[in-house]
Amino acid sequence: MKLKDLLINIEYSVINDGNPEISDIIYDSRKVIKNTVFVCLKGYNSDGHKFAESAVEKGASALIISDELDFEVPSNIAVIKTNDTRLALALMSVELFGRPAQELRTIAVTGTKGKTTTTAMIAEIFEQSGIKTGTIGTLGIVYDGKTVKTENTTPESYEIQKAMRDMINSGCKAMVIEASSIGLKHSRLAGITFDAGIFTNFSDDHIGGVEHKDLNEYLFCKSLLFRQCKFAAANIDDEKWSEVTKDAKSPVLTFGFSDNADLRAENDHLISDKGFIGVHFETEGIKKLSLDVGIPGKFNVYNALAAICAVSFFDISENAIINGLKAAKVKGRVEPVKVPGNYTLLIDYAHNALSMENVLTTLRQYNPNRLITMFGAGGNRPKVRRYEMGETSGRLSDLSVITEDNSRFEDVMNIIEDIKTGINKTDGKYVVVPNRKDAIRYCMENAQDGDIIVLAGKGHEDYQEIKGIKYHMDERELIADIIKESF
């Protein structure tokens, strides 16, 4: 593709004229090859302008800059100057990959909490409708049974556009993405007109450091999404909903428990039966449904309402909604795993005291026969985390099973001793099983009817890090092995 074909939606000035054939867009100078265009991004800790000369030496045919360069660029290298190279990267990527968003049903979900779960629910409802769907978010880029890991919840714009094209090539007809405030701030979603944008909730988070300077900026960045959506839905029970969606292009569909909600939840209660753990509720308003959601916690009623509103902008059957919400699960987030017994086994990413508190408090509401928590703590991290995790599990669990978790360069037994320091501040019972697979086996072999067992800490991770080496370890595979070996 010619350089100027990539620039058709960008305001720019020409420093060095030229219109070379471009094979790819690069923003990491280490990946530059011949006949590529290098976009100079300014990050938190580095500035791509400082690597522009290296990019030219490696064969870049063109440079996209916003600042002056400190070297003389050869006359045969095209140089384009624009005010915002991140925006330029996004709009160029749209053209490079052939405007893939126009070939997909697209939904973006923003909010402080609930993005990952809501995204999973929407995707499952689409799948139940026979619409093959890809997702982009905390768990990476997921489609066609594959997961591509990403550094950020909302990846760089180039990765998003490439992912959508890859999804289309694999047969996907829809894409659901988590739109983080940072992603919106840095134009990673620029150039996409979403079919629908969803607002879950707003609370104090991501303030300070390299994220947002204050709460107002955080709120503003969330609101940016709704300038690029055909339709929008929002949680009416959140006091910031109207401010976040003020720039929406159409009337906003609302959801919540409020009498004024367009989609209203009522008669909600927790349900648990032979390994199924979740919440039941009914809806009034734009849809009258009776639903079981297979993810525990009453707060997931809001996520489910958000998902229902999202798919209501499309021709989706009520059966697909009912089946999708019952089947939906998020890898590594209170994720149920089938076991040959009358108890519930869950995998969760909780790896600090706060996340453990949230999960265990939620599961306590189900009045299990026993709540059993298996966990460890990461090596080469502050010891206070271990004390706090031990104390939290000891206080909220009927039994703690202490084991390993990414010990890194520390001795597992030393980490376990630190965890015991915290747990000994409580009356909580515990056992120590240093090997993680053995610890899972212990939990399963000693499970009683009605128990809820949480394997905490690993979640979606598929490795165990020991002495600088990441060994493959997926708890789902370990559980399958244990079932074959012992049951």
My answer on whether 351 and 225 are in the same domain is: no
My answer on whether 447 and 363 are in the same domain is: yes
Helices 318-327, 115-128: axis angle to 10 degrees equals 130
My answer on whether 67 and 150 are in the same domain is: no
Read off the tokens for 434: 């240093």
Read off the tokens for 48: 């791509």
Q: Would you place residue 214 in the very low, low, confident or very high pLDDT band (cuts 50, 70, 90)?
A: confident
My answer on whether 224 and 132 are in the same domain is: yes
Statement: residue 135 has pLDDT above 70: yes
Per-residue pLDDT tens over the stretch 349-370: 999 999 999 999 999 999 999 9
Q: Would you place residue 460 in the very low, low, confident or very high pLDDT band (cuts 50, 70, 90)?
A: very high
CATH of the domain at 286: 3.40.1190.10
Give the range of the structural domain holding residue 386, as residue numbers without chain letter: 335-486
pLDDT above 70 covers a percentage of the chain that reads 98
My answer on whether 277 and 362 are in the same domain is: no
CATH of the domain at 43: 3.40.1390.10
My answer on whether 349 and 435 are in the same domain is: yes
My answer on whether 89 and 105 are in the same domain is: no
My answer on whether 289 and 420 are in the same domain is: no
262 DSSP assignment: S
Q: Which residues contact 341 (CB under 8 A, 6 or more apart)?
A: 444, 447, 449
Number of domains making up the chain: 3
Which residues is 25 bridged to in the sheet?
37
My answer on whether 281 and 189 are in the same domain is: yes
> CA–CA separation, 51 vs 162, rounded Å?
24
> CA–CA separation, 479 vs 485, rounded Å?
10
CATH of the domain at 465: 3.90.190.20
For residue 373, give the nearest of 329, 422, 303, 300 by alpha carbon: 422
Q: What angle do CA 132, 138, 139 make, to 5 degrees?
A: 55
pLDDT of the residue at 274 = 75
My answer on whether 356 and 318 are in the same domain is: no
My answer on whether 128 and 143 are in the same domain is: yes
Among residues 44, 68, 96, the one where a domain terminates is: 96
My answer on whether 126 and 253 are in the same domain is: yes
> CA–CA separation, 137 vs 152, rounded Å?
8
Average pLDDT of span 464-471: 96
Strands (E), 376-436: 399-402, 429-432
